[in-house]
Amino acid sequence: MKNWIGAASVLVVGLSVTAASAQSGNAARGQRVFNTQCKACHTLEKDGASTAGPNLYGVFGRKAGAGAGYEFSDAMKNSGIVWDDATMADYNRDPKGKVPGTKMVFNGVKNAGQLADLVAYLKEATK
């Protein structure tokens, strides 16, 4: 029983650290993550093109699959996601795990620090 309590405590602390780091990311470092891992498929400018992936301008607060100019998968349209810091981090950590059937072929950002940085950058760059 003690082992389960100890393991649960470690899990809760680990999740808290991950949530805190998602809120305290560094946007400058996040820009580098975006440029190396996301920019090939996504643009961020207002009225920017949708290429292999949708334009992300104004994504925070928007319902997933609702952006104009891109043909989203039914899975994304029906996901019920509204993009905020937490959903953006969860999705970009494991896109296919978060939305099975998504068209996004990216395997995700596994490093928690890079993920927090990416979310911080996207939050600023897509306003």
Q: What domains can be seen in the chain, in order of their start residue?
A: 2-125 (1.10.760.10)
Predicted local distance difference test score (pLDDT) of residue 58: 97
Mean pLDDT of the chain: 88
Distance CA 115, CA 112 (A): 5
Distance CA 91, CA 46 (A): 22
- Phi/psi at 68 (nearest 5 deg)? -80, 150
Residue at 86: amino acid letter:
A
Q: What is the pLDDT of residue 76?
A: 98
* The predicted structure's pLDDT at residue 24: 86
Answer for the pair 121, 34: CB distance below 8 angstroms, yes or no. yes
Cβ-based neighbours of 123, under 8 Å, separated by 6 or more: 27, 60, 85, 88
Q: If you ran DSSP here, which 8-state letter would residue 44 be given?
A: -
Percent of the chain exceeding pLDDT 70 equals 82
- Confidence at residue 17, expressed as pLDDT on a 0 to 100 scale: 42
Tell me how far apart the alpha carbons of residues 67 and 102 are, in angstroms, rounded to a whole number.
15
**pLDDT value at position 11?**
44
Query: Which positions of the chain have pLDDT values less than 50?
Result: 7-22
Intra-chain end-to-end CA distance of the chain, in Å = 48
**Single pTM value for the model:** 0.81
